[in-house]
Structure formats: structure tokens, C-alpha cells
Amino acid sequence: MNQNFTRISGTGNTFIFFNNIDLKFTSDKETRKKMVIDLCQNYDGINSDGFVFCDPSQTHNFKWDFYNSDSSEAEMCGNAARCAAIYYYYKIKPEKKIKFESRAGLIECEIINIDDLIVKTKMPNIFDQDKIPKVKIDDTIIRGYFVNTGVPHYVLQAEPDLELAKKIRSAKEFGENGTNVTFIEIDDSDYMHAITYERGVENFTLACGTGAVAAASFFKHINIEYDGEI
């Protein structure tokens, strides 16, 4: 079956969207997951970080069914939410304010400037702050900050370390689904540099909205005043 897909980039994160509000495609999970892997990983030239099916909702604009590029399901993605608002405006209905259902709850987006594609997204309330303050990796205790900003993040104030991120991501302390791992650094110009190793992508990504919220939450949690930019 031929299908029309749209690929959108939000701050370097790329996502494929499919309009299924009219129920033209199956809701079978295994069929969808195979399609996600085929398009996000195997199709030359359009490798993407995630895939979003926009399914019908009885109460809001749509319900999204979100998958990481490895076909694992995720509760929330900040950059994909912003991209979803642009997708809905251009491909479904030209509304600047939308609400959609996600596994993290109701997500609200507003297009502030359609010409410059600027979108504001209300992120889910954070929870589980510092629930897992330390993790054992190769007989070494790693002390970080854990927070769920729609998806779980373990935050470390350190230089990015890919191999360490891979080990933390699947550490037993985080259960079967694992966690995202966000590294943060602050330079002399009051900029916070944050980079996230995303589970499901299994690598660092160019941007991460939930990771940016996790980084900001880290400083509030440890009572450090930070007025710079992420």
C-alpha cells in the first residue's frame, strides 16, 4: 500500500509523520513497528530519530502513537511535539493551537510565528526527582540526578561520554526500559551545554527537548541559581 509520509526536523531531531486520523492504516503494533524500522533505519536518505502516527481522538485534535527509530515506544518527545504542531497546521488543518494525547498525558502546543516556524509546547509535569541518585557501573558509583520530564533522564554534570552513557542507559537501577542520559556543562559565558543519549535511538542526538527540561530541573533541584541559556 502506498502511503504519504512527511519528514520534519526540529532543532536537528528528525521525525516522520503519518496522518491516520481517518483510520486509513492499521493500528496493529507489530505492523507499525516494522514500518518504523524500515523507514527510520533502512530507507536510504531519510534516517530519522522517530516516527509519529497521528490517530483519531474523541476529545482533542489527535492522539499520537510515537516510536523511536528502533521501534520502541516512548511516552513523550519535546521536539517531536513541536514538529507535530507544524505538521498538523500544514497537512491536516491550519490551527495554531492544538492539543493531542500522548502516553505522558495531554500535550498542548501553540504556533507563535508560522513564518519562522516557532512553536511553544507545554511540557508534562516533572516527577520522580532524584529517585535514583546513584548508579553502579563497572564497580564504580556514579552520582547523578534522575528526573522524569515525560521520559526518564539521568543527568550528569560532566563531559559527554558515549561509552558511559550506553552503560547507564541500560543499568539495572532503571528497570527494563532503561533511561535517557543527559550530560551538562556550563561555560564562562553563562551557557549550559546539554547533550542527551536517547534510548531507542541509542546514540547522542542533535537536540532533546525533554533533556533540556531535565538539565534545567537539575540546577533547580540542587539550589543553584542559573539565569543563562541552554
Q: Looking at the annotation, which residues are catalytic?
A: 77, 208
At 182, the amino acid letter reads T
Angle of helix 209-221 relative to helix 78-87, nearest 10 degrees, comes to: 140
Scanning the chain, the segments in alpha helix (DSSP H) are 29-37, 78-87, 162-169, 209-221
Residue 81 exposed, middle or buried by CB count within 10 Å (0-12, 13-18, 19+) = buried
Closest by Cα among 86, 41, 6, 50 to 206: 50
Distance CA 215, CA 3 (A): 38
